[in-house]
Structures are given as structure tokens and as C-alpha cells.
Structure 1
């Protein structure tokens, strides 16, 4: 891999990328052919400290074409201002791949999925919405079917750290958690598994931008903000209708996803069952996410909030969620009996014995290499959760996913 840093102004907007966009460590940010629609998407990455690079070994034709254009402009005494804004374009004759032809093997690029979901849900566009939404949902559904622990780990970890793209990250986590629970524990038919995933992914579409703003707001809610929050379920349903969604169960589940309706799932309609599962997963996802105005809850407290209903009885949908994800879901940080801090990689044979890897030693120092531990053994049993705010070390997501 031969990475070359890119100036943000050289990256083409509104057209398929002629190269794969990568970070400084080679992490895939956007596949070749992905459309970056505006500069704001790139600025979000830069604000998070992500460098923008191209791998010349992988994208040689495009980069050689760029260098050839640059050389020609220098030879012809082109003004420096024109050179600085020159875009990298595809090599002559190269046909840009369609978004639907995105590669379907290998681990997902979660940063790319975050940006795609944020842009789609913040500014849904008429005829473009349907194909783009279904492409995003199909990719999420494929990853949570093929590697559910990895998908949960990525989204739990990102949700515990994300504020700038909170709403879309939260929606993806709820969507994946609902699909995994519906498939593995509730044993719903596959069509309903996908249906609940679509409803969860689109549940807050009318207030995506507002949710992202509120995640960083420290002032009390204004009256218009309160009204937008109160009405967002109905507004989301109405917006989805305008965007061409015709599935009545999907639409009703979105409209009802904040209703407080305890009781057995068998006594509910199909849409009400979807809405109840979404509501339970929504509670969990919201409680583990940070806000500028409050600290996130530990995963165990967030799970407890989903497990018990409004009458303090065990909730059937919430219990299914906890049984599926475990008390310590993938992506959570935990403390071991050895006083080490570990990240949960995979769910285990029981809810309290997941597979973990140590990231902080008993002396409080980063381990460098992540060390697997067997939590079924007394020396390494889990003694409780650890909040992300209490750990001042971060790890590249791809390093953790490689251990799953």
C-alpha cells in the first residue's frame, strides 16, 4: 500500500469517485464509485482527525492521470490557484461503477456507512431516496446476517463515541439490534426481520438534523424543538409516504415507535410488535450514547431500561433484546476480576461470559496488543461495566474487528 495525502479541494463532488478514498492508516473511507455529494461530508471526517488519502498501488491509473495533468499544468506555467483546485478524475475511457455495484465482500467501511446514512437521512431526496435507502439497508442487513457480532461491536462502539453523526449512527444500531433479535430470538420470518430493520433505520427521518444538533446542545430545549420531538413519529411517517414508501406495516411501526404499550407481543398487531421491539432497542441505544448535556449510562443500566416495561414488569421485546445482545454486548467495555479493562468482542455461551480482549492493564496502561481473555474462568470473570468516558485511550475500529 502506497498512501498519498489528498487536499480536500482535489476530491470530486457530486460524481462517482474514480478511486478508493482511504485514511492515513489505510482504512477504507469510501469505495471507488461512491458519490460524495458535498464538501460537508468530507469536513465531518477532517473534524474527527481523519486524513484523506489515495492508495496509488490500488488507484494507479487515476493517480497517474492526476500527476500527468499536474505536470502538464506546471510545464505550461498555469497559475498556482488553478493547480491547487485541480480535481482527480478517472482515467480516459474508465466507466464509473454504479453505487449498487459496491463490493459485497470483506468487512464494511463503517465510517463510509455513517456518512452515507447521515447524508441520506438528513436530506432525503425524492426519487433518489428509495434506491439509496434500500441499498444502505441491504448492506446493513447483509453484515448483521453474516457477522452479527462484528456489526453490533462496530455500532455499539461508534454510538458510545459519536456526537456529530449521532442520529444516523443510532438508527443503524437500532436497526441492526432489531434485525438480530428478530432473527435469532423472536424467530420472525425473514421478511419481517428486514421490515423491522427498515422501520428502525427510518424512524427519525423527520428530525435527523435536529437530533444531531441536540447531541451537542447544552442549552435547555426550545419550544419548537420540544414540539418537533413530540411530533417526529407522525412527521416521519408522513415524510416516508411522500418519499414513496407504501408498506403499511413499516409506516405504522414508524408512527408507533414511541408509544408506551407494555404487554405480550402476541396481543399486538404485526406493526405494533415491530414498533415495540424498535422502542426497546431505541431506549438502549439512546442511553449508551454521549450528549454534550449529559454522560451516557453504562451498558448494564441501558439494558435494564430496555428489560423492564413501564409498569416495572419484564418486557417481552426487551427481554428478547437482552437475551440476544447479552448483558455485555459486543463493543462494551468491561472490568475483569484481574482489574484489567477489556472490550467485548463476541457474545458468549451465557449473557455474562462474552469473549473479550484486554486493552488496559491492571496498572492502568494501554496493553498495545489486545490480549484475549476467557471470562468463564474465575480470574477473568467480568465484575462490571466500564464507561468510555473513563478510558482515555482509543483504538482503531478495524483492529478490534480483526479479533472478532
Structure 2
């Protein structure tokens, strides 16, 4: 029997007694027999329809299958590590567009980045902090801006700053070094002193960044002031305007501390990376003179002496990684990565650093143990 184009024979099992038809049913000549929705009332009626070689439209059959299929499950939310990788890409694109004068919707884009940060913090604050502690490549300019934003949002939440101030501070943290980006790799790889031209560019980068942002439509005073004055110091020794004390607003002071800290953690040609503990100690010693005393103390207290993602040596000579902040700044939760004999541990075992055997002796540089923390992100899943 020939079948009209676009039609096919009804198949065994496609109809059920007591269920409405999912599509119209036609006879062998293509004439309508039953409308969609009609209910097959008995087994005998079903047998008759099958015996008569009824037809259905192939298009109707496809449509019915599609409608019957459950919707795809929503995508799994990004892990904090994935969210921070995406944030770096967004920052890199935004900076390139700001530098080329093609950036648009900057405030809205930064607001979305800030919202993503807040979501990541809500899922796992320690994982977010660790995600940047594990990415300290000095050539990754976007990673440092992401790191600054993470620390600013973390500190602002701890200090319970007003939402408007947090928005402006986050925008500043994501963009404050945009004008320094093209020069950053050159400076990071340079062992000799800066020449006069380079020094002039460095001194001018806060004003250049503020102009780029203003040209792109940014008018938030907190954002612009923090970008313009993040190199000012309480004693007046900073630049570009030599501001002192209370002339430097609180959000700007906080970004200044974060900028110093994230720079210290990253190696330079002329010096090794500074462990987080030493960087925080250096900031602590400068409190009240160069940086804000209360803000520095609050950041150190909440971040901990050994922030998540820090490699540490324990009293028993094991090397571990800080996974969770502890009840106090000096006793975080650590997972062993290397045995006391110097072998990579096949099993990651938690260590309670309050116990004498597992107390932290010192932080160690990731550069000293390359690849040791390569798969550490799994510890936060």
C-alpha cells in the first residue's frame, strides 16, 4: 500500500486505551478519522484502528514527541572556582574595551560581575578566597584585579559597609589598574630600576584610569575616587595628590590595602613572592602610618594569617594547604598534600592545626612546590 507523502503507518504501542490521541488519525486515503484528543475507549476500538492501517502525520508525530519530552534540567551552578575563572575573562574583555574606547554599559557589566561574586561567596566563601590565592601569576593582570575585587567585597561585607559604597568599591577594584595593564608585564619582568618614562607612566596611571572610566560613562564618586587615589598614603607620601589622613575616604583606604597585599603575593623578577602571612605582617606594621589601622586589623582578623589556598609546613614536616579558615586567625583547617618524607600524598588527610603535631610552622611559596596544588580545587567541592 502506498502512503501519502508526509504520512506514515500507525505503529503498535503508539495508542493506549483510555488515553487521548496525541495527534489526528487518518485513513489510508489521507482522510481525517479522529481528531487529536479523542480518547480510545476499548481494546476492540484500538484493534480496529490498527487493522485498518491508519496513518499519522510525521510532522504531528515529531511535534508530539517534542512536547512529551521533559525540559532539559537547568545547568549546574558554577563552582566558585569556575565563577572566578569566568570573572577573569570578563575583566580582561572590559579592560581591553576601556583602553580602546569601545566599552559600553560599564556600570551594568560591573554590577553583574559583583552579583556573580556575591553568589560565589554565598556558596563557599573559603573556596572563593582560595581561588585567587592559587592563581598568583604576576603576568595575569586580570587575575590580580579579580583578587582585589574578591578581597574588597569580602572586607566590605565583614565591615557591613553601605550597599552603595560596596558597589562603588567593587567597581573600583575591578578597574583601578586598567591604565597600567599594557605596562604591567614589562614592569613585572624588569630587574633594573624604572626609567624616567616608566616612572611617569606609573605615577600617571590612576588619573589615566579615572579618565578612561569617565569617558565610558562611569560617574559613581566612590568608584572614581578609589581608582584615582588608591596610591595615596595616610602620611601624605602617596600620589597623585599627596592626600593625608581623613582626606582619603574609607573605601579608597581599603582598596589601597588590598592593592598592596595582592602585589606582595605575586613574584617579581627582582624578588620572590611573599607568603600571605608575611604580606599581612608587613601591612600590620604599616598600620596607622601608611594604611588605615582599623581596616588593616579587620582584614587580617577575617582573612586569617594563613588564608585559604595557602601552602603551609606543619610541625611534623608535612606540607598542606589551608582549606578553611579557623575559629581564630592562626589555626585554620589544613589538608595534607605532601608527607613528612617529601612524597606527594596519595590521600588528602585533614589536619587540625590546633594540635601540637599539626601546628603551622610557616607558609611556603607555591613556586617552591610547583604543581603540588594543581588539583586542589577538588578539596572545596
Normalising by structure 2, report the TM-score: 0.71
The whole-number CA distance in structure 2 between the counterparts of 1:195 and 1:260 is: 20
- 1:254-292 deviations in Å (ceiling 9; x for gaps): 1111100169xxx847x7100111111111111011223
Farther-moved stretch of structure 1 (117-126 vs 378-387) = 117-126
- RMSD, matched Cα: 2.6
The whole-number CA distance in structure 2 between the counterparts of 1:235 and 1:314 is: 25
Pair 1:396–1:177, CA change in 2 (3 A) = same
Partner of 1:235: 208
Q: 1:121 deviation in Å? A: 1.7
The whole-number CA distance in structure 2 between the counterparts of 1:219 and 1:312 is: 26
The whole-number CA distance in structure 2 between the counterparts of 1:323 and 1:120 is: 33
Aligned residue among 281, 300, 317 for 2:258: 281
- Unpaired runs of 5+ in structure 1? 1-100
Partner of 1:164: 139
- Unpaired runs of 5+ in structure 2? 1-73, 237-244
- The alignment covers a number of residue pairs equal to 295
- 1:370-401 deviations in Å (ceiling 9; x for gaps): 2211111111111111112221333335x434
Q: 1:102 deviation in Å? A: 9.2
The whole-number CA distance in structure 2 between the counterparts of 1:390 and 1:340 is: 14
- 1:116-174 deviations in Å (ceiling 9; x for gaps): 32232234233254444333333223313432211110111102xx1331x21111111
Whether 1:175 aligns to 2:149 is yes
Q: Is the 8 A contact 1:203 1:233 kept in 2?
A: yes
Q: 1:364 deviation in Å? A: 1.2
The whole-number CA distance in structure 2 between the counterparts of 1:119 and 1:213 is: 20
Q: Which residues of 2 match residues 33-48 of structure 1 at below 5 A?
A: none
- 1:190-231 deviations in Å (ceiling 9; x for gaps): 332333222111111111221233223345423222111111
Q: Is the 8 A contact 1:121 1:202 kept in 2?
A: yes
Q: Is the 8 A contact 1:122 1:209 kept in 2?
A: no
The whole-number CA distance in structure 2 between the counterparts of 1:252 and 1:321 is: 21
Partner of 1:344: 322
Whether 1:355 aligns to 2:330 is no
Q: Is the 8 A contact 1:260 1:310 kept in 2?
A: no
Partner of 1:299: 276
3-state SS in 1 of match to 2:249: helix
Pair 1:312–1:135, CA change in 2 (3 A) = closer
The whole-number CA distance in structure 2 between the counterparts of 1:342 and 1:323 is: 21
Partner of 2:374: 396
The whole-number CA distance in structure 1 between the counterparts of 2:344 and 2:362 is: 19
The whole-number CA distance in structure 2 between the counterparts of 1:225 and 1:123 is: 23
Pair 1:187–1:128, CA change in 2 (3 A) = closer
Aligned residue among 350, 353, 356 for 1:375: 353
Q: Is the 8 A contact 2:323 2:335 kept in 1?
A: yes
Normalising by structure 1, report the TM-score: 0.67
The whole-number CA distance in structure 2 between the counterparts of 1:117 and 1:344 is: 27
Q: 1:106 deviation in Å? A: 3.7
The whole-number CA distance in structure 2 between the counterparts of 1:314 and 1:378 is: 35
Q: Which residues of 2 match residues 85-164 of structure 1 at below 5 A?
A: 104-109=77-82, 110-124=84-98, 125-127=102-104, 129-159=106-136, 162-164=137-139
Pair 1:245–1:213, CA change in 2 (3 A) = same
Pair 1:111–1:394, CA change in 2 (3 A) = farther
